[in-house]
Amino acid sequence: MAKKTTIKKKVAAPKSFSAGRVYVTATFNNTLVTLTDGSGNTLAWGSSGASGFKGARKATPFAAITAVEGVAQKAKGYGMNSVEVFIKGPGSGRDAAIRALKNAGMNITMIADVTPMPHNGPRAKKRRRV
C-alpha cells in the first residue's frame, strides 16, 4: 500500500498594526465597511447585509453601527488603535459609522469625505418633444 503524504499549509502569524484606514461606503441600500493597513491592503470587511439585515433594514443607521462594530473588533484583534476614516456616498449610515468607531474605542485621526462629485458631468440627453 502506498503511504499517504500530508501537506502542511503555512499559517501566517497574525500581524500587528498600530494604525490603519477604514473606508465606509454608505449607499441608499447598504453600508459597506473595509479595514485596511496603511498601504491599503484589506484586513477585514463588513456590511449591513453581512451583519444579518435584509431589505430596507440594511439602509438604517443601526445596521451600519452593527457592521462597523464587527470590523472594529477585528481591528482590535490586529492591535490597531488609531484609524483614518474615508467616507463615500449619501446613505444614512455615514454619521452612525463614525460614532460607532469612536464608541468602539478607536482613535480617529482623520475623517475625509471622498464622495465622487461630477465637475459638470457628461452632456445631458436631448429634450423630449411630444
CATH superfamily of 19-113: Ribosomal protein S11/S14 (3.30.420.80)
Q: Could you state, in order of their start, the residue ranges of all structural domains in the chain? A: 19-113
Report, as an integer, the average pLDDT of 77-106. 93
pLDDT of 113 reads 95
Report, as an integer, the average pLDDT of 89-103. 93
Report, as an integer, the average pLDDT of 83-89. 95
pLDDT of 11 reads 59
CB 72 within 8 Å of CB 62: no
Nearest to 101 by CA among 64, 48, 60: 64
Report, as an integer, the average pLDDT of 7-29. 81
pLDDT of 14 reads 62
Distance CA 17, CA 112 (A): 21
Distance CA 86, CA 83 (A): 10
> pTM for the complete prediction?
0.81
Nearest to 35 by CA among 51, 48, 46: 46
